[in-house]
Every structure is written in structure tokens, then in C-alpha cells.
A and B are shown apart, each in its own frame.
Chain A
């Protein structure tokens, strides 16, 4: 009887350890997934900032103020609280693609329509702008 109990206990222990390991590894996987999403977004925001500031690409500082930027222009509105102002990511991308649709008199260049930026550059640019 004692032997039986011991072996049951061993089995229980093994099951518990296994379950614990499984649980731990599951949590770790979820954690890793979160980390990698954050890391990927951070990379995209970084790439978007480069497009934003590059004079041959977006050159956006020429007209828009971003907090902390040097010598920003003021022909366009300051870029702040962008998540709240542009809850729809697609709408913001469309605005950068061709701002003359919303306002025919705007002097903002149509970055997508005139192929000043590629699709990929537009996408990372929008990620960066939404982080402001």
C-alpha cells in the first residue's frame, strides 16, 4: 500500500512539475510575443522618423512642429496628440497620400500620389506620426 501511495505521489509530482513547466513556458511564449511586437513597432517608428526628417523624403519638419525638433517650420499644424486626432489609421495614411482631396488649396505635397514616398515608407511614416 505504501509503495502504491509513493508511486502515486511520484506521478502526481511529475504531473505537477510538467504542468508547471508547461504553464511557465506558455507564459514565457506570450511574453516573448508581446516583446517582439513592441520591438517591431519600435523599429517601424524609428524607420518612420527617418523618413519624416529626411530632406529628400518627407522633409516634414519643413512645415510641421514636433516637440523637441530643431528649427521646425510652421506652415502646417504642429503634430501632437496624433492618436487622438487621427483614431483611424487609414484616414491618416490617405491624408498623407493625397491631402488635396480633403483640402484642394493645401500646399502639402501629395506624398503617395506623386510617388515622393513608397507604400512601405508611407506606412512607417504613419506609425511614427501616430506615436507623436
Chain B
């Protein structure tokens, strides 16, 4: 092979090398998208989800916040958080003096080689101290994360994607978000970007930006406080797809991507939704 051919081959292979995901460019593009779609709304408002774009629903929601239905979960969570483990240690030994750490989660753990959500971190803390892991979606774990979310209110989401492995996990979450699934053939972006704000009967679809700011959520339809992955499962069931397991790699990567999209936004969880 002539050396010119070799160079040509080399150049071609460089050109078809896979393009690495660029999370920051994606995040800025998403913000641009919603700013153009809703030019009169301050993007920071999207921490309030669909209530940022619907005055009537917002009114009812603000009234509900007078006696927030998630309040009991915060109190229960605080008590659980401060109860020492059998070995005498406590959550503070894992998370530090300030339980308000939600803005750092999910994080990519190089040593574990995967995304660690706040719920995974809480259960890891328990297991490392000889306690049993709690069920993922509702109950005590959702209460503990409600308390931690409450302590994190006002802090800005600060997700870091620093290694190639972390970028790969982000890219998988992103791919999930844009992949159609289920008998109804919906992808996340279909309802939350393409059709955002449109009416589906009496409901309106919420913007992706801000989806991660207010969890855990007391949802009227559930009548309890649940974690974000409970909602992922519900969404998948609504489009008639088989839901993934809570805290599966697929959902952890999705949560990583989705939370990064809201990077820099203020946390205001726990929240209440219809």
C-alpha cells in the first residue's frame, strides 16, 4: 500500500470515528429550545414544572403549598435520618454534617463504574453499616430523600460529567430519552419537547427543563411521596411499555441525563403534583 493511500485511510477512519456526546452543548441547546418556545417565561421558573406555563393550574398548586402534602414525609425522613444505625454510626457519617447534598446527585462513581443516585447512595450507606437496604420507590427511602431534598432547597444542581465513562452513561440516558417505545410508540421528547404545553385531555405536558428539580414528589394520583424513578416507571406503563426495574442501569443513566439537563437550576423539592 502506498503511503498516500495509508494517509487517506487514516483520515477516513478519523472522520467516521463516533462523535462523543457533548453534554454542555446539549444542555444549552435544550435551554434555547424552551426559551424560543416560551419567550415570555424566565427559564428559572421551569423548576415549577408545568405550573410555569399554566396560570390556572399554578393557582391551585400554590394554594396546595399552604399545607403541603409532602410535609409529613419530611418530618418522618428527618427522624429516620437522625436515628443511628445498630453499629452506632449514622447517615451523617456517609453524607457529612449537612444532609443537603441532593444537588450533587446523581454522580458518576468511577470506582463503582456507574451512576449513583441519591437513593443508591442512601442504601449503600445502610449496607456499609450493616443495615438492610430499603425498597427504592416509596416509603422510608422516599421519606429520607424528601428530608435531604428539603435540606437542599435553594442549592443549584451541580452534576459533573468528567470522564469518558461518565459521558457514555450520560449518552445512554440521552438515547433512552429520544427512543420511542411501547405500544403507543412515544419517546420522552415527543410529549415533553415536541408537544410541550399541549393539552392531553385535561393535562398539559411539562417541559424537560426542570424535570429534576423538585423530587421526591407527592403525587395526587399516587396519594403518597415517591421518587423520580417511580415516575419513570409510570411513564413507561402509560405508553404501554414494560417498565425497567427501579435503579436499574437504564433508569440511573436516564436520571443522570435528565438531571444534567437541569444543571444550574435551583432545587425546590420535595414537590407536589396532581
Question: Is A75 touching B199 in the complex (CB atoms < 8 A)?
Answer: yes
Q: Does B175 contact A (CB under 8 A)?
A: no
Contact segment of B15-23, B186-194, B218-226, B249-257: B186-194
Assess whether A116 is in contact with B184, with CB atoms less than 8 Å apart: yes
Question: By the criterion of a CB under 8 Å from any partner CB, how many residues of chain B are at the interface?
Answer: 13
B195 is an interface residue with CB less than 8 A from chain A = yes
**B202 contacts the other chain (CB 8 A):** yes
Which residue on B lies nearest to A63, using beta carbons?
Answer: B200
Q: Which one, B183, B194, B201, contacts A71 given CB within 8 A? A: B201
Q: Are A71 and B202 in contact (CB under 8 A)?
A: yes
Residue contact B194 to A109, C-beta cutoff 8 Å: no
A110 within 8 Å of B (CB atoms): yes
Q: What sequence of 0s and 1s flags, for each residue 157-187 of chain B, a beta carbon within 8 Å of any chain A beta carbon?
A: 0000000000000000000000000011110
B198 at the interface (CB under 8 A from A): yes
Whether B184 lies near A109 (C-beta < 8 A) is yes
Q: Which of A63, A73, A105 contacts B194 (CB 8 A)?
A: A105
- Report whether B199 and A110 are in contact in the complex, using a CB–CB cutoff of 8 Å: no
List residues of chain B with CB within 8 A of the CB of A131.
none
Residue of B nearest to A55 (CB): B201
If A109-B184, A109-B185 touch, does A73 touch B200 (CB 8 Å cutoff)?
Answer: yes
Number of interface residues of A (CB under 8 A): 16
Q: Across the two chains, which residue of chain B brings its CB closest to A110?
A: B185
CA distance A115 to B185 in the complex (A): 12
Interface majority SS (helix, strand, loop, mixed), chain A: loop
Alpha-carbon separation in the docked complex, A72 to B201 (Å): 5
Smallest CB gap from B203: residue in A: A73
Q: Does A62 contact B (CB under 8 A)?
A: yes
CA distance A75 to B197 in the complex (A): 9
- Chain A minimum-CB-distance residue to B184: A109
If the complex has contacts A107-B190, A107-B191, are A73 and B184 also in contact, measured as CB distance less than 8 A? no
Q: Is A51 in contact with chain B by the CB < 8 A criterion?
A: no
With both beta carbons as reference points, the residue of chain B lying nearest to A74 in the complex is identified as B199
Q: Please, how many angstroms separate the alpha-carbon atoms of A100 and B183 in the complex?
A: 14
Q: Which residues of B contact A115 (CB under 8 A)?
A: 183
A-B contact pairs, 29 of them (CB 8 A): A61-B201, A62-B201, A63-B198, A63-B200, A71-B199, A71-B202, A72-B199, A72-B201, A73-B198, A73-B199, A73-B200, A73-B201, A74-B198, A74-B199, A75-B198, A75-B200, A107-B186, A107-B190, A107-B191, A107-B194, A107-B195, A109-B184, A109-B185, A109-B186, A110-B185, A114-B183, A114-B184, A115-B183, A116-B184
> Top 6 nearest A-B pairs by Cβ distance?
A107-B190, A75-B198, A109-B184, A73-B199, A73-B200, A75-B195
